[in-house]
Amino acid sequence: YARHGFDGVVQLAPFACIPEIVAKSIIPSISRDLDIPVLTLFIDEQTGKAGVQTRLEAFVDLLQKKRDTRIGAERLVV
């Protein structure tokens, strides 16, 4: 996704899913290497809507600030 211009990735996984738990262990290095933020959300029947919404809003804020910083830096170069 980073190579296609996406600003970030949301990994949504069911709680206690072994393949997703394994993937979560390598995602930080991929995120760092490709310079793309990743938000991992594990969901089960007890997951509260408000908590998920708060985490998504915070992630979008982070992406907007990163994009604004990048655009500002590009303007300084031009």
- In the DSSP assignment, the letter for residue 4 is G
What is the structure's pLDDT at 74?
A: 62
Q: Which of 4-8, 58-62, 68-72 has the highest mean pLDDT?
A: 58-62
**Reported pTM:** 0.74
What is the structure's pLDDT at 61?
A: 94
Length of the chain: 78
Structure tokens at 68: 């604004």
Q: What radius of gyration, in Å, describes the C-alpha atoms of the chain? A: 15
What is the structure's pLDDT at 76?
A: 43
Q: Average pLDDT, stretch 4-9?
A: 88
Separation CA 23–CA 68 (nearest Å):
30
Task: Provide the pLDDT confidence category of residue 73 given band limits of 50, 70 and 90.
Answer: low
Residue 66: how many CB atoms within 10 A of its CB? 15
Separation CA 67–CA 18 (nearest Å):
33
